Amino acid sequence: MALTINPAVSGSRTRFLLHSGGFFLGVFVGALGSLLIVLVLKDLFAAIVPNKWIVLAVLALVGWAILHDVGMPAPLPYRPGQVPERLRSVLPTGAVATAFGLQLGVGFLTFFTYSTHLAMLLALPFLRSLPQMILVITLFACGKTLVLATSIGIRSIDEVTTRFRWTPARARVLRGTTATASLLVGLALLQLWPGR
Amino acid sequence: MEAVNRRETPAANLLASAVVNPYVIAGGFAVIAVPLLLRGNLNLFATVAVAALVAGWSSAWSP
């Protein structure tokens, strides 16, 4: 995303901050949409099956996603594509930033990245209150927007790519981190299991 | 664009690169998660909040 929203494209620091804000807002609203869907689905299932089976299903799905992180690609309901690049040429940068944010915020409209997205989203309905859920969504949007900081101080778009250094060791570290974070969510969900 | 970048320094460049460094993401996660684990009782809200931050942050590296 730093290739689309950066100081070189925005033209000034102020505009870059505005575009980053638009991206943050887009991610937040998109994730809110996903939260709404997950809440509705949870309520639908709760009307049919006991809560413990829903917890079990969520644990299974989180485990399934973790398999992806550890190198065993399992099919997941994510759209196998990136954000539509053509929007860059037809919309102003601010609108593109918000539109891309919306799509990435929903999460399922682009490639699956790591298990933490699914773990976070599926665990949200089990939180105690709506403010807690909103706070989690805000942190998700903050994390997505934080990435844009990698473009600070660049003169051209090409400079952004030099700041992303990808090695197999780094990939393992990142996958290990996301798998561990998801595993912790799974362990915390396990405490909701009746009788514990 | 010169005005935009007049304050760029090697340190700033290093810092900007560090934002998406997987070791930094892992370190950030560890700093938050280890105290949670040490408390013994895993709080669902805390773990989901950490996962949310990691989910957003790590997405810099789309497979």
Binned at pLDDT 50, 70 and 90, residue A8 comes out as confident
Q: Is residue A82 part of a domain?
A: yes
Chain A nearest-CA residue for B13: A153
In 3D space, the residue among B11, B15, B17 whose CA is nearest the CA of residue A170 turns out to be B17
Task: Round to whole Å and give the CA distance between A92 and B49.
Answer: 33
Nearest beta carbon to residue B22 from set A154, A174, A180: A174
Cβ-count burial A41-74 (b if 16+ within 10 Å, e if not): ebeebeeeeeeeebbeebbebbeebbebbeeeee
Nearest beta carbon to residue B5 from set A139, A153, A191: A153
Distance (Å) from the alpha carbon of B23 to chain A's nearest alpha carbon: 7
Q: What is the DSSP secondary-structure string of B1-63?
A: -HHHHTT--HHHHHHHHHTT-HHHHHHHHHHHHHHHHHTSS--HHHHHHHHHHHHHHHTTS--
Domain containing A66 equals 7-190
* Residue range A95-124, pLDDT digits in tens: 999 999 999 999 888 888 899 999 999 999
Could you tell me what percent of chain B has a pLDDT over 70?
83
Q: What residue spans define the domains of chain B?
A: 2-58
Domain count, chain A: 1
Looking at residues A148-174, what average pLDDT do you find? 83
| More confident position, A1 or A172 | A172
Residues of chain B in contact with residue A112, where contact means CB-CB under 8 angstroms, are 63
| More confident position, B3 or A149 | A149
Q: Is residue A30 part of a domain?
A: yes
Binned at pLDDT 50, 70 and 90, residue B63 comes out as low
Please provide the distance, in angstroms rounded to a whole number, between the alpha carbons at the two ends of chain A. 43
Q: Is the pLDDT score of A180 beyond 90?
A: yes
Count of C-beta atoms within a 10 Å radius of residue A172: 13
Looking at residues A127-156, what average pLDDT do you find? 91
Q: Is residue A195 part of a domain?
A: no
Q: Is residue A155 part of a domain?
A: yes
ipTM of the complex: 0.92
Per the CB < 8 Å rule, is A188 touching B48?
yes
Q: Is the pLDDT score of B24 beyond 60?
A: yes
Q: Is residue A83 part of a domain?
A: yes
pLDDT at position B7 is 52
Distance (Å) from the alpha carbon of A44 to chain B's nearest alpha carbon: 22
Here the tokens at position B25 are 């993401």
> What is the pTM (predicted TM-score) of this model?
0.91
Q: Is residue A52 part of a domain?
A: yes
Q: Is residue A180 part of a domain?
A: yes
Distance (Å) from the alpha carbon of A47 to chain B's nearest alpha carbon: 23
Q: Is residue A2 part of a domain?
A: no
